[in-house]
Amino acid sequence: MCTRVLWNSNDFAVLAGRSMDWPESTEPLIVVFPRGRQRDGGLLVTEVVVPDNPLRWTSTYGSVVTTVYGLGTVDGVNEKGLGVHALYLKSTDVGTRNPDLPGLHTGLWAQYLLDGAATVGEALALMDGVQLVMVGANGHDATLHLAIEDAAGDSAIIELAGGELVVHHGREFTLMTNDPTYDEQLRLLAAQDFSHPSRDMPLPGNVNPVDRFQRAAYYSALLPTPVAERPAVASVMAIMRNVSVPFGAPYGEFGVYNTEYRTVTDLTHLTYFFELTTSPSTLWTRLSKLDFTEGAPVLAIDPYDESLVGDVTPSFAPRHIGF
């Protein structure tokens, strides 16, 4: 479930795409958070999930995010051009709780980094001395791994094994799906050279994470040199559509489900694009037109609102968000 592609090898813009695959609607909202918002990493809305030594912080940066079930953040970008994408990883193991360390539940992991970091390096530093605590939503554990990137094109993949962070940090880590672990994904990718794709190269066509990973590599190697934002974004969105899971092809017993939505983030020009698979319209918002000042209201739109189309920046309205 889910795929992330980073395009950081062109001279026009750093762009990141992701797909969200899930067995049901995640009830997404696109939310604008201002600076100065106080957070509690031990609260899942009103439920205390980290009763001992929860991590608490105040947001340094404003962000535009996509929420999941109204309980946390699964995708987004902040005003400094840091992008964060949470994808499912069944093997995630947060380890045994150590109350000596501030606890952060996995539903707020992505938001914590968006709130406090301007670069990938700063985001990784924020994890020092912090312990992640597993939570669930709608009967599903938030067994997540993160892909993060910044406006300079730096990248990192972060996973949890035995309670320890496993970090792949570097511009070369541009692709990510789900299981198996990222080490194994890289070994599978190395088994076939996709750096010189051709029409004669056999290409995996299934919807499982391994096949999607390899297709993402193949089409990423074919990306044309961008000259403007629209074709650049369209290039990444085309890959995300190619690695999406179509309706009628989910295999729940294997953890593969249809795609609910896709996003593309332009980290250079600070524009966030969102495409719901049940809508013919692509939505976008430009962060430069949003008010992130401390004390500004939290704003949101519901992407399932069929009246929304194109630039939805003026359509955001105040909304209570419980985290």
76: its two tokens: 């987004």
pLDDT value at residue 178: 84
**Dist. CA 4–CA 17, nearest whole Å:** 6
pLDDT value at residue 89: 87
271 is a domain residue: yes
pLDDT value at residue 255: 67
pLDDT value at residue 315: 98
193 is a domain residue: yes
pLDDT, one tens digit for every residue, the chain (323 residues): 799 999 999 999 999 999 999 989 999 999 999 999 999 999 999 899 999 999 999 999 999 999 999 999 999 999 999 999 999 988 899 999 999 999 999 999 999 999 999 999 999 999 999 999 999 877 888 889 999 999 999 999 999 999 999 999 999 999 999 878 898 888 877 777 777 788 888 888 888 888 898 899 999 999 999 999 999 999 999 999 999 999 887 676 566 789 999 999 999 999 999 999 999 999 999 999 999 999 999 999 999 999 999 999 999 999 999 99
pLDDT value at residue 184: 86
106 is a domain residue: yes
**Active site members:** 2
Q: Is 52 exposed, middle or buried (0-12, 13-18, 19+ CB in 10 A)?
A: middle
323 is a domain residue: no
Backbone angles phi, psi at 161, to 5 degrees: -135, 120
pTM of the model: 0.95
- How many domains does the chain divide into? 1
65 is a domain residue: yes
Give me the helix-helix angle, 209-220 and 182-190, nearest 10°: 60
Q: Tell me, what CATH number does 46's domain have?
A: 3.60.60.10
pLDDT value at residue 205: 84
4, 69, 74, 31: which is closest to 298 by C-alpha? Answer: 31
pLDDT value at residue 37: 98
Q: Is 191 exposed, middle or buried (0-12, 13-18, 19+ CB in 10 A)?
A: exposed
> Domain of 226?
3-318
Residue with tokens 């017993």: 253
120: its two tokens: 């990938």
Q: Is 198 exposed, middle or buried (0-12, 13-18, 19+ CB in 10 A)?
A: exposed
DSSP code, position 114: H
Q: Are strands 103-105 and 131-133 parallel, antiparallel or unpaired?
A: parallel
Give 128's Cβ-side CA count (13 Å radius).
6
